């Protein structure tokens, strides 16, 4: 390596060490990252080539269509959630109504046997249990 090349690389190394300069090219950098925007873009392209991934450039019309699609997709998701909630609530409403009717109609099947049970008046009941004695008198 020549003296001129050594001097150049020593100057670059000194610039890279200064705070606020890019760590790759040594130029002043005010974006808050270690590398300037140009070096970051280069690094992104370089890594993409190494891994075999090509960076896609998206046309503006396609980007607008994608944004519209995302909005519509979010709307559909909200609609599906509302429909699922309504279905769940209506099912529970019907289930609870069935439970109430089941409790209400629990002994209706025994109505046909009512004539088989004897009836008793208060005086007869008082002879069986003294708790009903005051009511019968």
Domain borders along the chain are: 3-51, 57-106, 108-137
CB contact at 8 A, 38 and 25:
yes
CA angle 96, 102, 108 (to 5 degrees): 160
- For residue 55, what are the contacts with CB-CB under 8 A and spacing of at least 6? 44, 45, 48
The C-alpha atoms of residue 123 and residue 108 are separated, in whole angstroms, by 29
How close are the terminal C-alpha atoms of the chain, in Å? 129
pLDDT tens digits, residue range 74-104?
A: 999 999 999 999 999 999 988 888 888 777 8
Q: How confident is the model at residue 49 (pLDDT cuts 50, 70, 90)?
A: confident
Q: How confident is the model at residue 45 (pLDDT cuts 50, 70, 90)?
A: confident
The C-alpha atoms of residue 41 and residue 23 are separated, in whole angstroms, by 14
Run of H or E including 119: none
């Amino acid at each position: 390596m020549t003296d001129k090349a050594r001097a150049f690389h020593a100057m670059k190394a000194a610039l890279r060490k200064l705070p606020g300069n890019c760590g790759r090219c040594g130029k002043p950098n005010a974006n808050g990252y270690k590398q300037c925007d140009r070096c970051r873009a280069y690094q992104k392209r370089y890594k993409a080539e190494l891994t075999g991934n090509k960076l896609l450039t998206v046309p503006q019309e396609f980007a607008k269509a994608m944004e519209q699609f995302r909005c519509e997709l979010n709307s559909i998701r909200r609609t599906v959630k509302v429909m699922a909630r309504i279905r769940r609530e209506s099912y529970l409403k019907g289930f609870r109504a069935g439970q109430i009717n089941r409790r209400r109609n629990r002994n209706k099947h025994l109505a046909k046997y009512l004539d088989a049970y004897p009836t008793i008046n208060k005086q007869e009941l008082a002879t069986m249990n003294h708790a009903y004695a005051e009511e019968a008198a």
